[in-house]
Homo-oligomer: A and B are copies of this chain.
């Protein structure tokens, strides 16, 4: 009995298959099976997650009144029911304005694992990121003062901020967007691929394992690696020109680098690429092979990689749709113009 327990305890590492070892060797990292370990991984270094902050952040995330029009919440472009994005090529915001650089809304699911936020990586974390779209004229089009006024006008929000941060909390643009970021940290979706890396050999089918091998052998993991399976900064169009690079005027960061999107739930986040120009996942795989790896990926290999990518569809956290505090006479009136 003692012997059996010992075997079980070390089983996962001792028994890891050569394929799982290869995956870990190229830097692929599982979302831990242990919930406390996940919490540690996603937590903010100083503004620690609590149930009160998360619940408040969820309300703010779903509240369209943070936008100038009163109609566009964070969830409008990062829809938690739809893979965490909006399913259109370029984000649409206030006044039905498309993103001026033709940028595609990235998924909010697992965004916490990315090294940087935004396509040009200009933001270090989700709390900082949330300060962008709320103010951007073609997105939520609000101002810091407006957002602060909206939230402070509702006693229920004020009470929840006090409950979350103590009675002396300053409810302003910073604490509001910080709290949205904290909620977003919790949006992680462990998949069968994680189960596999965590030691469950049966979590992936034979075809999915073959797809994982193709994925690694082609070299996709040179960018799509880590726990985000992406999320770092990379040069775009390394060996060839991207066919649709002139859709929009986005050129990456100061060094021409672009954030690698996560591949988690990628089957649910079409259209693909920073400018949302490609709808078909196999076409996207081939295009990436051509321009980033200088490879002519065969139909068979593209299909095999796609089979693996399906295993990255994650288990989404359950979201109780929040019933928002009622506006009061002090709540600024929305302006759709």
Contacts and interface: CB of A to CB of B under 8 A. Distances in A.
A62 interface: yes
B96 A334 contact: no
A93 to B, nearest CB: 10
A256 B42 CA distance: 59
Interface in A283-325: 313, 316, 318-324
Interface residues of A, number: 40
Contacts of A333: 279
A24 B321 CA distance: 35
Interface stretch (A31-39, A65-73, A127-135): A65-73
A173 B23 CA distance: 47
Contact of A64 (B79, B98, B321): B79
Interface stretch (A47-55, A81-89, A203-211, A232-240): A81-89
Contacts of A217: none
Contact of A87 (B62, B316, B321, B327): B327
Contacts of A329: 279-280
Contacts of A322: 81
B81 A323 contact: yes
A69 B92 contact: yes
Given A270-B327, A321-B320, A336 B92 contact: yes
Contacts of A92: 69, 71, 336
15 contacts: A62-B81, A63-B81, A69-B92, A70-B86, A71-B86, A81-B322, A82-B324, A87-B327, A88-B336, A96-B96, A279-B329, A279-B333, A313-B326, A318-B320, A320-B320
A334 B304 CA distance: 28
A57 to B, nearest CB: 14
Nearest to A76: B71
Given A318-B320, A324-B81, A326-B267, A334 B87 contact: yes
Contact of A96 (B76, B79, B267, B336): B336
A81 B336 contact: no
A321 B324 contact: no
Contacts of A11: none
A268 interface: yes
Nearest to A93: B96
A95 interface: yes
A83 B268 CA distance: 30
B79 A336 contact: no
Contact of A83 (B76, B316, B326): B326
A80 interface: yes
Nearest to A79: B64
Contacts of A88: 69-71, 334, 336
